[in-house]
Amino acid sequence: MNAGLLARVRKLLAMAEDPACTPGEAEAFTEKAAELIAKYGVDQAMLAVGNPAADPIGDRVVTIDPPYARDKAGLLAAVASPLRCRVVHLERRGLARSHLFGHAADLERVELLFTSLLVQAAHGLSASPVPFGESAAAYRRSWLVGYSQAVSARLWSAEKNAAAETPGAELVLVDRTDLVELKRDETYPRLAKLPPRRLQGSGRIRGYRAGQEAHLGSAEVSDS
């Protein structure tokens, strides 16, 4: 990201990560946040049409610490997919390791958002009491699933709207995504899908609501 935009995004994310930030404040910033991050991604994609080397495909391995490492890895995938990156979840032994593929600008967007959303999710979980008699672990896992689903839905919407506003962008973005998937498939030619999970906790609805209110990266804030 350019320096000015990056400074604005980081400042807002720091505000979002503050435990004192209310759900109402978070909701007020949400739509503008996703909109700006999405527009940046489209702009970078269009600039790279004439010079692909300006935004090459790359990859990185992300290690996610417990607790709930698998569910946090699910949040990473929920952020990565609408931002045109792809994730391969590797073997786990207490930790979650995910191999992330994407163009440089999109990898940067994913990393920035995911890091902030992890902090916001931690605050949201601490503020969401476990129902009496329910397993805390089961509740929190289902909460994180709901949170991830809400975040992903908002990002898909923002990315779709940003692409629609730029002539020719939709085809460019499809081609970029195809190249990322090709790189992933070349790296993992025998990739297998994980079976669906069966979650018993009742936290999904509360987590989804928290994901709807999470900051996604920008708003009209001053640089002071």
Per residue in 30-47, pLDDT (tens digit) is: 566 677 788 889 999 999
Q: What are phi and psi of 89, to 5 degrees?
A: -85, 125
| Ranges of H-type helices in the chain | 3-16, 23-47, 69-80, 104-126, 136-164, 169-187, 204-213
**Sorting pLDDT into bands at 50, 70 and 90, what band is 218?**
very low
**17-26, 81-90, 117-126, 138-147: segment of lowest average pLDDT:** 17-26
Residue 57: in which H helix or E strand, if any?
strand 57-64
- Number of residues assigned to the chain: 224
Spatial contact of 70 and 87, defined as CB atoms under 8 Å apart: no
Q: Is the peptide bond before 67 cis (omega within 30 degrees of 0)?
A: yes
Is the pLDDT assigned to residue 195 strictly greater than 90?
no
Determine the pLDDT at residue 13.
Answer: 72
